[in-house]
């Protein structure tokens, strides 16, 4: 049969530039890392930053031309903090991108859907009430279960209220978020007042507590979850077309969506445990990424991780420098930018 095209065909910009974009992303990421480590109350030159790094990785390679104090600032404080920023940004970007596919909702975001609040609830429960009876893993584990519980609530509410459309799902998430935050605030109120102060500050989002010996937890979760999501990129692509169509492609739609939500809760919970509530990264990053690399999840996922990491590095630089020597909670920065982005998105969709 012959079907002729009825409209002239403008050739779209092809994506030959993809390797260039990928290389560019990595370069910008490394430059941002370098920048984030050198900027602060004590400014450190980029040469020193990389010198310290090389010296730590391969002792004796270069002669130390910097003071012990500088080295301590770079290695003990700023590097772990910058690495945590990268991991949290990458993780939240991945969660946002995946949730947007399985809900077919461009507004899906771990913060808007109440998953972050659930994580915070779990973390607060562990910090103020149960004590760290499982050691260092207590807070991340509780945060994960809290996030999972909030996820279950959102899915339950959206099913009961038949709120599967984009806007109503977000409303269900916001409602659950309010309830869970109310419960979390009650926990803070009931807790030891002195500890509560620390917890409130942590909840606003901050990377100041980053320590080398704890980075392994978010790293493992990020790599494992990110790898799994990437292996399911084809299914995520199919989910954007529709539940029924995805199911005719052999995808167990309901189970797959639950799995992605569970993995999203895992990443979110662990990131919340180490950095508090950092909102809107998962909402913004995938949109920016799709403009750069298109919609195929084989590219969207890695690009979301890289762009999320870059974004949070810079947000943390702003948080540390805007009112130096005070640290503004990074959640304030991302909330401000994210809220404006959300408004722009609402305007664009109509």
Partner 1 sequence: MTAQAAAGLELEGVSWTLKKGTSPILMETTLALNPGRVLGIVGPNGAGKTTLLRLLYRYYRPTSGRVWLDGEDIWRMSARNVARKVAAVLQEQPTDFALTVREIVALGRTPHRSGLGGFGGARDAEIVDGALDRLALRGFADRHLGTLSGGERQRVMVARALAQEPGLLILDEPTNHLDIRHQLEVLRLIRDLPLTIVTSLHDLNMAAGVCDDVLLLKSGRTLGFGPPHTVLCEASVSRAFDVDARRDHLSLSATDHLTFHLQEE
CB of 108 to partner 1, least distance (A): 11
- By the rule CB under 8 A, 164 interacts with partner 1: no
Tell which residue, 225, 217, 306, 227, has the closest CA to residue 267: 225
Token output for 90:
């990458």
Tell which residue, 39, 179, 21, has the closest CA to residue 114: 179
- Taking CB under 8 A as the rule, which mask of x and - marks residues 80-119 in contact with partner 1? --------------------xx--xxx-------------
Task: CB nearer to partner 1: give 84 or 102.
Answer: 102
Task: CB nearer to partner 1: give 48 or 304.
Answer: 304
Task: CB nearer to partner 1: give 92 or 102.
Answer: 102
Task: CB nearer to partner 1: give 134 or 254.
Answer: 254
Residues sharing a CB contact under 8 Å with residue 263, sequence separation 6 or more, in sequence order: 98, 225, 228, 229
- By the rule CB under 8 A, 160 interacts with partner 1: no
- By the rule CB under 8 A, 158 interacts with partner 1: no
DSSP codes joined into one string, 304-335: HHHHHHHHHHHHHHHHHHTTTTSPPPHHHHHH
149-175 burial: b if 16+ Cβ within 10 Å, else e: bbbbbbbebbeeeebeebeebbbbbeb
Token output for 118:
């659930």
CB atoms within 10 A of CB 255: 9
- By the rule CB under 8 A, 165 interacts with partner 1: no
Residues sharing a CB contact under 8 Å with residue 328, sequence separation 6 or more, in sequence order: 318, 319, 320, 322
CB of 158 to partner 1, least distance (A): 16
- Restricted to residues 279-298, the positions that interact with partner 1 (CB under 8 A) are 290-291, 294-296, 298
Q: Of residues 67, 234, 324, 340, which one binds partner 1 by CB under 8 A?
A: 234
CB-based contact 278:115 (threshold 8 Å): no
Residues sharing a CB contact under 8 Å with residue 330, sequence separation 6 or more, in sequence order: 85, 205, 206, 207, 275, 278, 312, 315, 316, 319
CB of 1 to partner 1, least distance (A): 5
Beta strands in the chain (DSSP E): none
CB of 284 to partner 1, least distance (A): 15
CB-based contact 283:134 (threshold 8 Å): no
Q: Of residues 24, 47, 156, 252, which one binds partner 1 by CB under 8 A?
A: 252
CB of 11 to partner 1, least distance (A): 7
- By the rule CB under 8 A, 167 interacts with partner 1: no
- By the rule CB under 8 A, 344 interacts with partner 1: no
- By the rule CB under 8 A, 43 interacts with partner 1: no
Task: CB nearer to partner 1: give 24 or 295.
Answer: 295
Contact positions toward partner 1, by CB under 8 A?
A: 1-7, 9-14, 100-101, 104-106, 166, 230-231, 233-235, 237-238, 240-245, 247-252, 290-291, 294-296, 298
């Amino acid at each position: 049969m012959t079907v002729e095209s009825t409209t002239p065909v403008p050739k779209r910009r092809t994506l030959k530039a993809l390797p260039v974009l990928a290389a560019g992303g990595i370069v910008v990421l490394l430059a941002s890392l370098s920048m984030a480590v050198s900027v602060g109350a004590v400014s450190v030159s980029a040469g020193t930053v990389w010198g310290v790094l090389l010296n730590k990785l391969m002792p004796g390679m270069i002669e130390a031309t910097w003071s012990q104090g500088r080295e301590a600032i770079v290695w003990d404080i700023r590097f772990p903090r910058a690495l945590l920023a990268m991991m949290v940004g990458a993780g939240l970007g991945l969660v946002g991108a995946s949730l947007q596919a399985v809900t077919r909702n461009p507004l899906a975001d771990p913060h808007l859907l109440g998953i972050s609040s659930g994580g915070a609830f779990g973390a607060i429960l562990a910090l103020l009430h149960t004590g760290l009876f499982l050691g260092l893993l207590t807070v991340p584990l509780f945060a994960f279960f809290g996030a999972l519980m909030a996820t279950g609530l959102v899915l339950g509410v959206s099913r009961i209220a038949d709120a599967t459309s984009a806007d109503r799902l977000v409303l269900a998430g916001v409602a659950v978020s309010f309830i869970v935050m109310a419960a979390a605030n009650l926990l803070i109120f009931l807790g030891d007042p002195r500890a509560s102060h620390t917890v409130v500050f942590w909840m606003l989002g901050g990377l100041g507590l980053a320590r080398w010996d704890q980075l392994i937890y978010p790293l493992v979760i990020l790599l494992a979850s990110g790898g799994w999501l990437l292996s399911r990129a084809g299914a995520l692509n199919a989910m954007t077309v529709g539940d029924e169509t995805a199911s005719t492609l052999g995808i167990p739609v309901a189970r797959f969506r639950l799995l992605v939500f569970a993995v999203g809760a895992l990443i979110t919970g662990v990131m919340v445990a180490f950095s508090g509530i950092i909102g809107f990264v998962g909402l913004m990053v995938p949109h920016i990424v799709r403009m750069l690399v298109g919609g195929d999840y084989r590219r969207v996922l890695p690009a979301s991780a890289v762009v999320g990491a870059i974004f949070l590095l810079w947000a943390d630089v702003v948080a540390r420098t805007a009112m130096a020597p005070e640290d503004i909670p990074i959640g304030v920065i991302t909330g401000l930018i994210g809220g404006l982005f959300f408004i722009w998105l609402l305007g664009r969709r109509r």
